[in-house]
Structures are given as structure tokens and as C-alpha cells.
A = this chain, B = another copy of it.
């Protein structure tokens, strides 16, 4: 028996609903082979791929950005630990930036919010891009975008 996973198994193991997995596939985040009956079968490595997606979401990336990140993995062969390590490494700057943002926020929050500079425009905190307006429509989630 080869270790391929059904969608149910992948769902159970990853904690991600089957419907979400199909959605990820539609979005190009994961792929599946099909049985003759048309059912999806996932290689074990998909588990790691899904894990990466969830972690990336927690960092604040959109699925589109995550898809782009995953695009750096090899299509032809199963990604090795080294492949993953490289992806993770290429990510650190982003993570670092996000952490620095929050730390700056934390460190300046009590002084800044009390001093009056939080009247916007003067303070980096509230208007970090200087042009906070026209960021495009739709929900804007969190910073770093």
C-alpha cells in the first residue's frame, strides 16, 4: 500500500476541512492526482504544503501571496527538506519586518498614544505608509500589506 491520502484523510490530519482543500486546489495551492473513479489522492508531501499554507496565513499572507511563495518549490519532484528550508529562509525578512512593526507598535504605543502624536499624519504608528488612503477596495486585513 502506497501512502497516498484521500481528501478525508488529508483533512483529518491537517485540520483543514475538505471543502477548504478543494478550494485550495481551485486556487492553485495544492494539487491532486485522481483515481479512475475521479477521487483525489494526495501524496504525503501535501501535508507539509497545507501546513505551510496555514502558517503563512497566520503571518498574514493572502492565499494569492502564498501561492506565489509555493511556486518556488519544484513541480517535478517531491520537495526535499532543503527545498522547504530555502522557502522558509526566503520568508524570514517578511516575518522580521512584521515582527518589527508590532514591536515598534508596542514600544511606542503607551508613549505615543498619550503624547498627542497619535493625531495621525505625525505618527508612524497609525499611518505607516504615509498614504493610508486608497489601498484598494475590499477588506484590508492587517499591516505588512
* Complex Cα spacing A106 to B47, Å: 20
- A113 contacts B15, CB within 8 Å? no
Known A113-B52, A119-B51, A140-B57; judge A102-B105 contact (CB<8 A): no
Please tell me how many copies of the chain the complex holds: 2
A77 to chain B, nearest CB (A): 16
Given A99-B103, A99-B106, A133-B15, A125 and B55 touching (CB < 8 A)? yes
Contact flag A110-B95 (CB < 8 Å), given A102-B102, A131-B15, A142-B141: no
Q: How far is the CA of A60 from the CA of B13 in the complex (A)?
A: 27
CA distance A73 to B85 in the complex (A): 47
Cβ proximity bits A73-114 to B, threshold 8 Å, 1 near / 0 not: 000000001101101110110011011011101100110011
Bin the interface of chain A by size: 35 or more
10 contacts between A and B (CB under 8 A): A48-B118, A55-B118, A57-B140, A58-B128, A59-B105, A60-B142, A81-B116, A84-B113, A92-B106, A95-B106
